[in-house]
Structure 1
Amino acid sequence: MKTITILVPAYNEEEVLDQLYSRLTDVIESVPNYNFEILFVNDGSKDNTLNMIKEFRVRDKRISYVDLSRNFGKETAMIAGLDHAMGDAVIIIDADLQDPPELIPDMIQYWEQGYDDVYAKRRSRAGESWAKKWTAGKFYSLLKKTTRIPIQENTGDFRLLDRRCVEALKQIRETQRYTKGMFSWIGYNKKEILFDRDPRAAGETKWNYFKLMDLAIEGITSFTTFPLRLASFLGFTVSFGAFCYMLWIIIKTLIHGESVSGYPSMMTAILFLGGVQLIAVGIIGEYLGRIFNETKNRPLYFVDEYNDDKVTNLDEKPTAKLYRVEDHKVKSNR
């Protein structure tokens, strides 16, 4: 039988794990003729999340877990899960139950029809503020207009990925990751499923506006050089405008004999040009910082424990994945 891994990144999710486990097991039992692995990635939780996962594993051997050595962030936690997933297909789902596990049978059905990436698109987003919905819409609109990659709008990480999609994503070892863009970048045969997103079942969101802004910057700088081109265009426009203004001042002074404007106009021009230069330097700095981080060639993460075993993290080459205690390989039956 084929094996399907359900990958759940978790960070301080003790309040919702019982509900998540109950709904996942109900869904799994409704889908016969498949082996399932529920793989939790504990991303350095400071609450009782890891202990609860271990308790699940004691009574249900379908549970696996990867305990990272510290909090590396959700994007890194997902690639850690993909590195350790053993399934012929991997379903990524958040622990907060905003994405309904009940869609999993439909995803599997489309997968069996030959689709490689079955992703859930939000028809509505309950529990989110108007400002968050508006800013998300504007961000996706901007990203779609500035990149050549067909970015999927109103989609998250909730999706089923065939093994060949998983292997493709595992080859992308960028330290600053925007996985939603990577799903689009790798291509393959995609299928959309519409759903209404629920509010969190319990607990509080880990994504404040600062983190969302940081993720948006990651997305833009990872998949387009448009900000650099915009800085160049802005610099050219300002320089041309300054040159025209200079000519106007010279002509007005020589022909009409008018005095040159003094301190206020000079300070306005200096402050404006200084602001434009700082914006351009900031944009260049964002890309330069990414280059700096990538050249370090640090491993993406370290694993403290995998399925009750302490892990010695070995890395044969800088871009290779971190090997676990046993390197499981599953060949697809498709």
Structure 2
Amino acid sequence: MSTKLITIVTPCYNEEQNVRELYRRTSAVMTQLPGYKYQHLFIDNASSDGTVTVLREMASGDPQIKVIVNARNFGHLRSPMHAFLQAEGDIVGILYADLQDPPELFIEMVHEWEKGKLIVAAIKNSSAENGVIYRLRTAYYRLVARLTSVEVMEHFTGFGLYDRKVVDILRQNFHDPYPYFRGMIAEIGLPTAKVYYPQKRRERGITKNNFYTLYDLAMLGITNLSKVPLRLVTFAGFVSALVSFFLGVFYLIYKIIFWSGFSVGIAPLVIGLFFLGSIQMIAMGIIGEYVGAIHTTTLNRPLVVERERINF
């Protein structure tokens, strides 16, 4: 049997403090898998620090380090997906550059792959991040699981190991210019093994996630996997119309019976207007998310534009 190639894909953005240590630890892990060849593919998303300089130095000393440098920052979803599709390995791993996920887990992942699992997903069973944030993430994953018919893995970030067959399926059948990788993995439904680990707190550098990126990812997960929110909007519209109709009939009858003594006043009118207005705003927001997703898809733009390739 020919020697299998493992390609580890690492997305980077302003990670000059971490990439050397990440590569050192990953290389040490791969020496414990003597039956495999190893290649490390870094994709830099137009870092503004010295990340590209460090990667260039690393690549000059090791031909198995390959680097893609993007022309600009294409976001935290498009750049990793592009690198994943460029990977040459018989097995492809995803490992983020922040060192919160342990490269040492790849040994266990490879053993699971050898058992015939085409996807080996690394799942956080605890996290050193704020406890409230971790519980909010848990609640979000459970909400998505209720809204969709596919199995969505809780606390799965993409860190894992994937058979070549998975890469080929994603390349041939998914052409989303704004890809939700976790949703794609859930959608294809191939045999999956799960390995668990406690996620560490970031030690060097600062997180690139903020409220907008987290909200963007959360809404993308819902709109990519489920139409339930759209149907809830329709249902809410029917319920609101029904309630308004019966209230109108009630006030009409009450006014006819107590014509002289009953004064509705302006408060119910104002409350009703604000209630209906808020429902309309929520409905427009939900519909807008789906329209935005359709707009992004119809533009059919490339995932990234590359500025440079090193060691290819």
TM-score (norm 2): 0.95
Tell me, yes or no, if structure 1 residue 201 matches structure 2 residue 203.
yes
Query: Separation in 2 of the partners of 1:181 and 1:136?
Result: 16
Alignment of 1:1-334 (within 5 A): 1-126=3-128, 128-171=129-172, 172-257=174-259, 258-307=261-310
Match of 1:329?
none
Query: Separation in 2 of the partners of 1:302 and 1:183?
Result: 24
Structure 1 residues 34-56: Cα deviation after superposition (integer angstroms, max 9, x where no partner)? 11110001111111111111111
Superposition deviation, residue 293 in structure 1: 1.7
Structure 1 residues 291-323: Cα deviation after superposition (integer angstroms, max 9, x where no partner)? 1121112222111111267xxxxxxxxxxxxxx
Contact 1:176 1:218 in 2 (8 A): no
RMSD of the alignment, in Å?
Answer: 1.3
Contact 1:89 1:162 in 2 (8 A): yes
Contact 1:69 1:302 in 2 (8 A): yes
When the two structures are aligned, how many residues end up with a matched partner?
A: 308
Superposition deviation, residue 216 in structure 1: 0.1
Paired amino acid for 2:139: K
Query: Separation in 1 of the partners of 2:213 and 2:291?
Result: 20
Query: Separation in 1 of the partners of 2:41 and 2:89?
Result: 10
Match of 1:315?
none
Query: Separation in 2 of the partners of 1:125 and 1:209?
Result: 19
In the TM superposition, structure 1's runs of 4+ consecutive aligned residues that sit over 3 Å from their partners are: none
Query: Separation in 2 of the partners of 1:162 and 1:213?
Result: 30
Contact 1:173 1:300 in 2 (8 A): no
Query: Separation in 2 of the partners of 1:58 and 1:297?
Result: 35
Structure 1: stretches of 5+ with no match in the other structure = 310-334
Superposition deviation, residue 154 in structure 1: 1.4
Query: Separation in 2 of the partners of 1:132 and 1:75?
Result: 21
Query: Separation in 2 of the partners of 1:267 and 1:192?
Result: 53
Query: Separation in 2 of the partners of 1:176 and 1:53?
Result: 26
Instruction: Give the secondary-structure state (helix, strand or coil) at the position aligned to 2:63.
Output: coil
Contact 2:63 2:311 in 1 (8 A): no
Instruction: Give the secondary-structure state (helix, strand or coil) at the position aligned to 1:195.
Output: strand
Structure 2: stretches of 5+ with no match in the other structure = none
Contact 2:66 2:311 in 1 (8 A): no
Query: Separation in 2 of the partners of 1:308 and 1:18?
Result: 17
Higher RCO, Cα 8 Å, sep 6+: 2
TM-score (norm 1): 0.89
Paired amino acid for 2:144: L
Paired amino acid for 1:38: H
Query: Separation in 2 of the partners of 1:280 and 1:143?
Result: 18
Match of 1:324?
none
Superposition deviation, residue 244 in structure 1: 0.8
Superposition deviation, residue 262 in structure 1: 2.3
Query: Separation in 2 of the partners of 1:290 and 1:154?
Result: 24
Query: Separation in 2 of the partners of 1:201 and 1:25?
Result: 20
Superposition deviation, residue 26 in structure 1: 0.8
Contact 1:16 1:201 in 2 (8 A): no
Match of 1:320?
none
Query: Separation in 2 of the partners of 1:261 and 1:175?
Result: 54
Superposition deviation, residue 117 in structure 1: 0.2
Instruction: Give the secondary-structure state (helix, strand or coil) at the position aligned to 1:177.
Output: coil
Contact 2:81 2:179 in 1 (8 A): no
Query: Separation in 2 of the partners of 1:206 and 1:60?
Result: 28
Superposition deviation, residue 212 in structure 1: 0.6
Superposition deviation, residue 165 in structure 1: 0.4
Contact 1:79 1:170 in 2 (8 A): no
Contact 1:249 1:260 in 2 (8 A): no
Superposition deviation, residue 27 in structure 1: 0.8
